[in-house]
Amino acid sequence: MARKFSFGATRLMRTPSETRVFDEADTLEGLFVTSSRVESDEPISVVGIAESVHEGILVKAKLKTRWHGECVRCLGEASGEIDVSVIELFEQGADPEGETYHFDGDVIDMVEMIRDNVVLELPIAPLCSVNCKGLCQYCGADLNHGRCECDMAPKDPRWQTLETLRHEGSESAGNAD
């Protein structure tokens, strides 16, 4: 069986303007940033066309998959879709500029291209929903499930105690003689 996300380019290289379509779904490991990831069993759909151009092989592809992560506001499950279009040039041999992908022999391997572009789309600060209310900063209750007791007392009681102590302290200091 052929390597995943790869195709032979012999005919493409031999014939200018020759095209080849591809439509593949497979998994990749190690797609993550600190706060979100594509699960290693989550299929990534890669649909597109490769075209033989003067500089090499031009790959136009649509990458689709799902990401999962932890909501930065409520720490609950967050997930969403990645749907990105990419256009990348594959050149034969090493590329001194590093701005294109390169291939040796006659196989175009799109794994690095897919990896780079999917990781760029992963959210740094995922949200379970744009309307997520987050956790109460005082008691930690998930405000998406309703209000908490702290609603009634806007200030943390511990800070109120401290205020009282500070007030009393300054009073007694003023009276000390």
**Which residues make up the interface to Zn ion (CB under 5 A)?**
71, 73-74, 76, 128, 132, 136, 138-139, 141, 148, 150
Cβ–Cβ under 8 Å, residues 69 and 126: yes
Smallest gap from residue 138 Cβ to Zn ion (A): 5
Smallest gap from residue 129 Cβ to Zn ion (A): 6
Question: What whole-number distance in Å separates Cα of residue 39 and Cα of residue 141?
Answer: 29
Q: Which is nearer to Zn ion, 33 or 150 (CB)?
A: 150
Go through 119-151 and write b for each residue having 16 or more CB atoms within 10 A of its CB, e for each that does not: bebbeeebbbeeebebbeebeebbbbeeeeebe
Per the DSSP assignment, residues forming a β-bridge with 142 are: 135
Smallest gap from residue 140 Cβ to Zn ion (A): 7
Smallest gap from residue 134 Cβ to Zn ion (A): 6
Q: Which is nearer to Zn ion, 70 or 91 (CB)?
A: 70
Question: What whole-number distance in Å separates Cα of residue 72 and Cα of residue 33?
Answer: 14
Q: Which is nearer to Zn ion, 79 or 100 (CB)?
A: 79
Q: Which is nearer to Zn ion, 43 or 134 (CB)?
A: 134
DSSP code for 40: T
